[in-house]
Chain A
């Protein structure tokens, strides 16, 4: 059993490393396309301009955007965890005096021993709704954040199970991929907003120019190609945030089942995670402190979307989390199998 588990863990770590690299490559490639595509469109549209007018021959946009994307990716990797924590308003627990926070620190230390990873830094989000998430780039630089509501609502065993789930994400390097994704989603949204504004201004300007001095006839030679390129390019711009959002969704759902299983492996007590999930599910209110950008990092969907409760094509495509009822059912199954086995071996 443990041999199998470790093999899966190793594969999972490898897959997460690979996916993070692919994510970064995809991110940079997408921006390169936006940049160089824009250059090409500009080149085509100025090719037939008079000799004295401006000819766009050097791909400034492409180079600039690629460099910006690379820097963004590097920045996201270096500061992603901080940014995620900052966006939720978490405060670090350093030297707790409150008994509940002391208990949290103890529980995290216990689970770190069970998982065989260094103790992560511990954060509390002052939000009454129970939820938890992990972030970081690797087990040596990891953070676990739980809401105040979780600490207050859950028993010691349940808290342990939730922390075990989060340490599962840390150990199999889910945190690296998911934090990177969160940081890049944020960056794309930000850049999209900024560039859209510039672009809108630019199109207005261009439209005005076209009506005035230059007629359509001059651009006629490159017409269809230019038009198609332009359409694809603009569509890419519009779709950028949606694509990154969908990526965030697709990446997080399967992982929750795996982290649940890892929690059960660490605590040897799947039923306590089942009851913790039930409590989290029961507290219906959305976790207001956690925004959309970090939603896929959490143990339960912080936005309280109804989609999470269902299964099916639509929910599969749009929910960040698998249906809670199914997760609980799987954990209960594990728990009863365990009880049966133990009962059998004693009897």
Chain B
């Protein structure tokens, strides 16, 4: 009788370990996959920027410094050869700089209605908005997935099998740039002041 109870407990324990282990591995792969998504979107952005700058260069001769800042930030971002979630700090720093330089460019484009009126710029603006959104949403998905993965690792009792699954906390993609953090300034939502 005693041995049967022992056997049942053992089976339950093994089943739990397998379940927890597989859960962690699945989350780990999801996190990796979410990171690859960011990578794909960043590549797209890097490819788009030269086209964009070429298209507005003629019309925006007077905003040379803004354009140069974009080009420079882009080249910096391309140069970063860190890969995988481990290099996330390095990548995010360069990419965040690129994001804020692009945002400045968009603001400038907004300020010149005659620039916006040409169809080309309108399309490019849409492409740029979309690219920025794609990067942001890929980042959001990665951060959500990584948070879930990290939480699972720390929670008891799953934390007991983290060593077995070789699970390590994944770094989140932080927005460090103060300028980017402070972007929403226009507030028409009539929210109560807090």
Contact = CB atoms under 8 A, between A and B. Distances in A.
A3 B148 contact: yes
A331 to B, nearest CB: 13
A344 B130 CA distance: 30
B95 to A, nearest CB: 15
Interface string B21-36: 0000000000000100
Contact of B151 (A3, A102, A113): A3
Contact of A111 (B137, B145, B151): B137
A106 B148 contact: no
A271 B189 contact: yes
Contacts of B189: 271, 339
B159 interface: no
Contacts of B137: 110-111, 113-114, 266
B41 interface: yes
A220 to B, nearest CB: 63
Nearest to A115: B141
Nearest to A102: B126
Interface in B124-169: 126-127, 129-130, 133-134, 137-138, 140-141, 144-145, 147-148, 151-152
Contacts of B41: 113
Nearest to B146: A2
Nearest to B141: A116
Given A2-B147, A109-B134, A339-B189, A99 B123 contact: yes
Contact of B134 (A2, A99, A102, A113): A113
Interface in A105-161: 106-107, 109-111, 113-116, 156, 160
A110 B148 contact: no
B123 A116 contact: no
A45 interface: no
Nearest to B191: A339
Interface residues of A, number: 26
Contacts of B140: 114, 268
A110 B133 contact: yes
A2 B152 CA distance: 11
Contacts of A107: 130
A60 interface: no
A343 interface: yes
A297 B137 CA distance: 26
B141 A103 contact: no
B138 A113 contact: yes
Contacts, number: 58
Interface residues of B, number: 25
A107 B41 CA distance: 14
Contacts of A340: 191, 194
Given A6-B148, A113-B37, A114-B141, A344 B123 contact: no
A347 B134 CA distance: 29
Interface in B60-105: none
A58 interface: no
Nearest to A160: B133
Residues of A contacting B: mostly? helix
Interface in A14-36: none
Contacts of A103: 126, 130
Contact of A113 (B122, B141, B145): B141
Nearest to B187: A339
B194 A2 contact: no
B144 A347 contact: no
Interface in A82-116: 99, 102-103, 106-107, 109-111, 113-116
A15 B89 CA distance: 40
Contact of B130 (A2, A106, A266, A268): A106
A75 interface: no
Contacts of B130: 103, 106-107, 109-110
A99 B151 contact: no
Given A3-B148, A6-B148, A160-B133, 15 more contacts: A2-B147, A99-B122, A99-B123, A103-B130, A106-B130, A107-B130, A110-B130, A110-B137, A113-B138, A114-B137, A115-B141, A266-B137, A271-B189, A339-B189, A340-B191
16 contacts: A2-B144, A6-B148, A99-B122, A103-B126, A106-B130, A110-B137, A113-B134, A113-B138, A113-B141, A116-B145, A156-B129, A336-B191, A339-B189, A340-B191, A343-B194, A344-B194
Interface of B: 34, 37, 41, 119, 122-123, 126-127, 129-130, 133-134, 137-138, 140-141, 144-145, 147-148, 151-152, 189, 191, 194
What 7 pairs between A and B have smallest CB-CB spacing? A106-B130, A114-B137, A343-B194, A110-B133, A113-B137, A2-B144, A2-B148
